[in-house]
Amino acid sequence: MPKVKTNSSAKKRFKVTGTGEITYQKAFKRHILTKKSTKRKRALRIKGQLGPANKDFVMRLLGMK
């Protein structure tokens, strides 16, 4: 039986926490930051948490299901 490969793009984008939650870095904080407010940029620093609708799909991409 062949091994199940982890999706390379998913392993770079998502991280599983100790409690089993999946976190990711929010988008829109790479460039063109001058027009974005400080409040908006500060909010983008906080890690995003994956919702239950996508959790099974991402777990399968990470080879954890």
45 within domain boundaries: yes
The pLDDT assigned to 54 comes to 96
Phi, psi of 60 (to 5 degrees): -70, -40
What pLDDT is recorded for position 1? 85
- Residue range 3-62, pLDDT digits in tens: 889 999 999 999 999 999 999 999 999 999 999 999 999 999 999 999 999 999 999 999
Closest to 60 (Cα-Cα) out of 19, 26, 11: 11
SS3 label, residue 24:
strand
Total number of domains in the chain: 1
Does residue 12 lie within any of the structural domains?
Answer: yes
Domain membership of residue 32 as a residue range: 8-61
Residue 2 lies in a domain: no
Query: For the domain that residue 16 is a member of, what is the CATH number?
Result: 4.10.410.60
